[in-house]
A = this chain, B = another copy of it.
Amino acid sequence: MTATTVHQPTHREALWELEDAFERGDLITIFGRCTVEYDGRAASSLDPGRRLLILKPDGTALVHTDENQKPVNWQPPGSEHHAAVRDGRLRVRSVRSSPDETLDVRFETVEQLSAMAVSGRRDLSVTGSEADLRNALLDRPALIEPGFEPLATERPTDAGPIDLFGRDSDGRPVVVELKRRRVGPSAASQLQRYVAAIEREEGDAAAVRGILVAPSVTDRARRLLAEHGLEFVAVEPPSDGSVAVSTATDNDADVVDDDTDDDTAASSTAESAGEGSN
Given contacts A49-B122, A84-B265, contact A273 B44 (CB under 8 A): no
**Among B67, B119, B127, contact of A42 (Cβ-Cβ < 8 Å):** B127
**Among B5, B25, B64, B74, contact of A112 (Cβ-Cβ < 8 Å):** B5
Q: Cβ of A54: which chain B residues have Cβ within 8 Å of it?
A: 52, 64
How far apart sit A263 and B86, CA to CA, in the bound complex (Å)?
Answer: 7
Asked if A155 lies at the interface with its beta carbon under 8 angstroms from chain B, I say: no
Q: Which of A139-147, A162-170, A188-196, A203-211 contacts its partner?
A: A188-196
How far apart sit A121 and B114, CA to CA, in the bound complex (Å)?
Answer: 23
Q: Cβ of A80: which chain B residues have Cβ within 8 Å of it?
A: 267-270
How far apart sit A265 and B16, CA to CA, in the bound complex (Å)?
Answer: 9
Flag if B77 contacts A69 (CB, 8 Å). Answer: yes
Asked if A250 lies at the interface with its beta carbon under 8 angstroms from chain B, I say: no
Min CB–CB distance A119 → chain B (angstroms)? 4
Flag if A67 contacts B189 (CB, 8 Å). Answer: no
Flag if B119 contacts A41 (CB, 8 Å). Answer: no
Q: Of A15, A114, A237, which is in contact with the most chain B CB atoms at under 10 Å from its CB?
A: A114
Q: Cβ of A189: which chain B residues have Cβ within 8 Å of it?
A: 186, 189-190, 192-193
Flag if A124 contacts B72 (CB, 8 Å). Answer: yes
Q: Cβ of A44: which chain B residues have Cβ within 8 Å of it?
A: 124-127
Q: Cβ of A265: which chain B residues have Cβ within 8 Å of it?
A: 15, 82-84
Flag if B5 contacts A276 (CB, 8 Å). Answer: no
How far apart sit A23 and B117, CA to CA, in the bound complex (Å)?
Answer: 29
Min CB–CB distance A93 → chain B (angstroms)? 9
Min CB–CB distance A92 → chain B (angstroms)? 9
CB neighbors of B among A8-60 (8 A)? 8, 12, 15, 18-19, 22-27, 29, 31, 41-47, 49-52, 54-60
Chain A residues packing against B (C-beta within 8 Å): 1-3, 5, 7-8, 12, 15, 18-19, 22-27, 29, 31, 41-47, 49-52, 54-60, 62, 64-69, 72, 74, 76-86, 100, 111-112, 114, 116-129, 158-160, 180-181, 185-186, 189-190, 192-193, 220, 223-224, 237, 239-240, 255, 261, 263-270, 273-277
